[in-house]
Amino acid sequence: MKSRRKFLQNITGSVIAIPFLSKIEYLESFKNIKDRSYDGPVLRVAIMGLGSYGTRVADAMKDCTKAKLVGVISGTPSKITAWQAKYNIPEKNCYNYENYDSIKSNPDIDAVYIITPNALHKDAAIRVAKAGKHVISEKPMSINAKDGQEMIAACKKANVKLLVGYRMHFEPKTLEVLRMRKDGEFGKVLFFQGLSGFQIGDPTQWRLKRESSGGGAMMDIGIYSINGARYMIGDEPIWVTAQETKTNKEKFKGGIDETIQFQLGFPSGAVASCLSTYSMNNLDRFFLNAEKGFAELQPSTGYGPIKGKTNKGELDYPHVTHQTVQMDRMAEIILEGKQPTVPVDGEEGLKDLKIIDAIYSAIKSGKKVSLSL
C-alpha cells in the first residue's frame, strides 16, 4: 500500500530545463551546467506545509538559479527547527499558522508556496495575498470552483500573482508532444485516454478525510488526467459524464471517492476517457490518438523519469527534476513576466476545479453536464 508521494518515483537527477528551446538548443543547455552563472533577479520563497512534498520541493530548489527557499510556515515547531538547520533558514523568516500574516513586513520574502491539505489552500492564499506576497498553490488549487474564484479575486485585489504547481507544464517530453500536436504532426486529434491511480495506504491520512481533502482520488491523483486531457488535446471540454465505483465503503466513506471514470467531449469532436482511482496500481498513462499518429507517455506524471513515444519514435529528452524547473520557470513568470507554453495561473487552476465540480455533479445526476470554461 502506497501514498501518492511514495507511489510517484523518486527524482533521479537535477538539471535545469529550458522548455521554450528547440531540442538541439535544449540539449546544448545541459553542457557545463554547473559552470553557468546567473546574476539576475531571484524569487525568494517561503514554503507553507513542511510535509513530504514540501520537503521534495525544498530539496529540488537547491539546484534552482532563479528561485531560492528563504522561509517556512508550519504548525509544527520541531519541523521548523529541523528545516532551519537543513536549509539554512533564518529565524526571522520562520512563521506558524497564527502569525504568518506578519510576512507583510518582511521584505526578504517574495512568495509563499502553499503545500497544505487542499481545504486549507483558499484561506491561506487569501491571507498571503493580503500580506502582499505572491501565491503559489499546490494543485488542485482548492476544493471547488467557488473557492478558486475567491482566491483569484483576492490576488487580483492585492495585485499579486497566483500560480498553481502544475509541474508537468514544464516537463520536456510532455512539451515535445504538445509541440508536435501544435505543428500538425499528428493531424486532427480524435481521442485521449488518461489513467491516474494507485492503492492508497494509511486510512487515517488527511487525503481520506473530506474536511481536509475535499474528496478522494479525484482531488488527488485525478487532477492529472483532467489537466492532461486539456493540454494534450489542446482545447477546452464542453461536456462531461462520469460514473463512480466503490468497492470498500468502510475505507472510502464520507464523500471520499474511490474510483471514478469520466468522459470529456471537445468542440472538435475529440473525446477523452479517463480514470481516477485509489484502489489500483500501475495507472500512470496518457495516450493521444490522432488521424496521422499518436503519442504515449507512460509514466506520464510521476516524478521521473517520464517515458514517452510517438508514431515517429521514442522521446529521448533527458530527465529533469520537475520541481527545480517549475520553480525557476515560476520565478521567470513572476519576476520577468514570461509566459509558459501551458498556463500555470489561477485561471488555469479554476478551469480544472470547474471540471471537478461537474464530474461530481454528473455522478450525482447520472446525466451529461455541460461545461463553459
Task: Give the catalytic positions in this structure.
Answer: 139, 224
Question: Alpha-carbon torsion 201, 204, 208, 214, what sign?
Answer: negative
- The grid cell for 185 is 504532426
Amino acid letter, residue 247 = T
CA distance 112 to 133: 7
Cell numbers found for residue 359: 464530474
List strands edge to edge, sheet with 162-164. 94-95, 67-73, 43-48, 111-114, 134-137, 162-164
Bridge-based pairing state of the strands 43-48 and 189-199: unpaired
Strands 134-137 and 111-114 turn out to be parallel
Rounded Cα gap, residues 370 and 348, in angstroms: 18
3-state helix, strand, coil in the chain (%, to 5): 40, 20, 40
User: Do 295 and 287 form a contact (C-beta atoms < 8 A)?
Assistant: yes
**Which residue, among 286, 349, 327, has the nearest Cα to 118 in the 3D structure?**
349
Which residues are within 8 A (CB) of 233 and not within 5 positions of it... i.e. 6 or more apart? Answer: 189, 192, 266, 270, 272, 288
Helix, strand, or coil here: 116? coil
